[in-house]
């Protein structure tokens, strides 16, 4: 995942996507994507919500609330392509990498560079890649921002919760979780964890011994917090995600 500077265009489109999403009741299924095309913003999305939003009014409210981050950028022109009363099926699986760091969505090299210069965004794909606003012609919001909880976002947070519980003595730096809300034909939880060498069956077994994949408590907690914090203070982490499970032991 890209570690984004809060003042970057990447952050602004993510912030706007979550801002619009937060105007839709949490029980609705929604995917909102915002594209910055430099001279106008395109808001594309689907939602089960039936009441059309006034994007013009929301844009003005957004500019007022986040004026300090937006600066002199012009958000005067918007194109609303949101499809209302749509059918969206809840996402039941998600594959996502997590890293041993202060915020497991990002690698230590991303975090170290960001702490040195937070005016730049940093991507990582086996090597660090600084991102400046000259790199792209458009900027598109990205998951999990703009995605409602049942569109993979809750699974993403649950993966973070699991990762933070892995003992620091266990020799891993990056793991890829294949998370699911489903069970297989043997009524076993569908879940996989991979390290650089392949599937880690020992860790997988330890996780399934402790975690029941009941995410209702997490859903309640995440609905209480300010989702904008993930963008305006990207290294901060919600305390409940780091809640320790005392019985988690790896043999």
Q: Is the pLDDT of residue 152 over 70?
A: yes
For residue range 114-134, list pLDDT tens digits in order.
999 999 999 998 889 998 887
Same domain assignment for residues 218 and 125: yes
Last residue of a domain, one of 140, 161, 178: 140
Mean pLDDT of 129-156: 92
pLDDT score of 210: 92
Q: Is residue 1 part of a domain?
A: no
The mean pLDDT value of the chain amounts to: 93
CA dist 95 and 192 (Å) reads: 9
Q: Is residue 44 part of a domain?
A: yes
**Same domain flag for 51 and 80:** yes
Tell whether 124 is covered by a domain. Answer: yes
Q: Which residue shows structure tokens 């600066």?
A: 71
- Indicate if 114 and 211 belong to the same structural domain: yes
4 in any annotated domain: no
Same-domain check for residues 55 and 97: no
What's the pLDDT tens digit per position in 65-118? Answer: 999 888 877 787 899 999 999 999 999 999 999 999 999 999 999 999 999 999
Q: Peptide bond before 144: cis, by omega within 30 degrees of 0?
A: yes
73 lies in the same domain as 159: no
- What is the average per-residue pLDDT within 150-154? 98
Q: Give the chain's domain count.
A: 2
Is 37 within the bounds of a domain? yes
Percent of the chain at pLDDT above 70? 99
Domain end, chosen from 113, 140, 167, is at 140
The residue that leads in pLDDT, 72 or 141, is 141
Task: Give residue 198's domain range.
Answer: 93-133+149-242
77 within some domain: yes
What is the structure's pLDDT at 197? 87
Phi first, then psi, for residue 225 (nearest 5°) are -100, 170
Same domain, 67 and 103: no
Mean pLDDT of 129-151: 90
Q: What is the pLDDT of residue 49?
A: 97
Domain match, 118 and 237 both: yes
Q: Is 165 left (phi over 0), alpha (psi -120 to 50) or beta?
A: alpha
Q: Is 121 found in the same domain as 79?
A: no
In which band, very low, low, confident or very high, does the pLDDT at 178 lie, cut at 50, 70 and 90?
A: very high
Domain boundary among 140, 157, 175: 140
- Is residue 137 scored above 90 in pLDDT? no
pLDDT value of position 186: 92
Cα dist from 183 to 92, 177, 189, 203, 231, whole Å: 11, 16, 4, 18, 33
- How does pLDDT run across 214-251, given as a tens digit for each residue? 999 999 999 999 999 999 999 999 999 999 887 777 76
49 and 75 both lie in a single domain: yes
Asked whether residue 251 is domain-assigned, the answer is no
Q: What CATH code is carried by the domain that includes residue 70?
A: 3.30.300.10
Let me know whether 119 and 188 are in one domain: yes
pLDDT for residue 136: 75
Task: Judge if 110 and 193 occupy the same domain.
Answer: yes
Q: What is the mean pLDDT of residues 51-69?
A: 93
Write the secondary structure of the chain as one string of H (helix), E (strand) and C (coil): CCECCCCCHHHHHHHHHHHHHCCCCCCCCEEEEEEECCCCEEEEEEECCCCCCCHHHHHHHHHHHCHHHHCCCCCCCEEEEEECCCCCCCCCEEEEEEECCCCCCCCHHHHHHHHHCCCCEEEECCCEEEECCCCCCCEECCCCCCECHHHCHHHHHHHHHHHHHCCCCCCCCEEEEEEECCECCCCCECCEEEECCEECHHHHHHHHHHCCCCCHHHHHHHCCCCCCHHHHCCCCCCHHHHCCCCCCCCC
Residue 213 has pLDDT above 70, yes or no: yes
For residue 135, what pLDDT band results from cuts at 50, 70 and 90? low
Residue 250 covered by a domain: no
- Assess whether 34 and 114 both reside in one domain: no
């Amino acid at each position: 995942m890209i570690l984004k500077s809060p003042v970057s265009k990447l952050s602004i489109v993510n912030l706007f996507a979550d801002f619009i999403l937060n105007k839709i009741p949490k029980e609705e299924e929604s995917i909102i994507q915002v594209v910055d095309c430099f001279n106008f913003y395109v808001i594309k999305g689907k939602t089960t919500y039936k009441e059309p939003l006034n994007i013009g009014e929301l844009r003005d409210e957004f500019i007022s609330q986040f004026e300090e981050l937006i600066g002199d950028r012009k958000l005067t022109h918007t194109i609303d392509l949101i499809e209302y009363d749509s059918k969206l099926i809840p996402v039941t699986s998600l594959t996502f990498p997590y890293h041993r760091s202060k915020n497991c969505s990002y690698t230590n090299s991303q975090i170290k560079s960001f702490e040195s210069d937070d005016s730049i965004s940093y991507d990582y794909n086996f090597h660090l890649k600084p991102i400046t606003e000259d790199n792209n012609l458009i900027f598109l919001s990205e998951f999990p921002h703009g995605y409602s909880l049942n569109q993979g976002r809750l699974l993403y947070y649950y993966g973070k919760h699991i990762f933070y519980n892995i003992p620091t003595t266990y020799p891993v730096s990056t793991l890829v979780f294949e998370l699911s809300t489903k069970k297989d034909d043997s009524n076993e939880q569908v879940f996989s964890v991979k390290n650089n060498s392949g599937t880690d069956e020992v860790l997988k077994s330890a996780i399934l011994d402790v975690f029941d994949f009941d995410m209702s408590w997490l859903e309640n907690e995440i609905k209480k917090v300010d989702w904008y914090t993930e963008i305006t203070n990207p290294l901060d982490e919600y305390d409940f995600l780091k809640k320790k499970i005392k019985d988690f032991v790896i043999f």
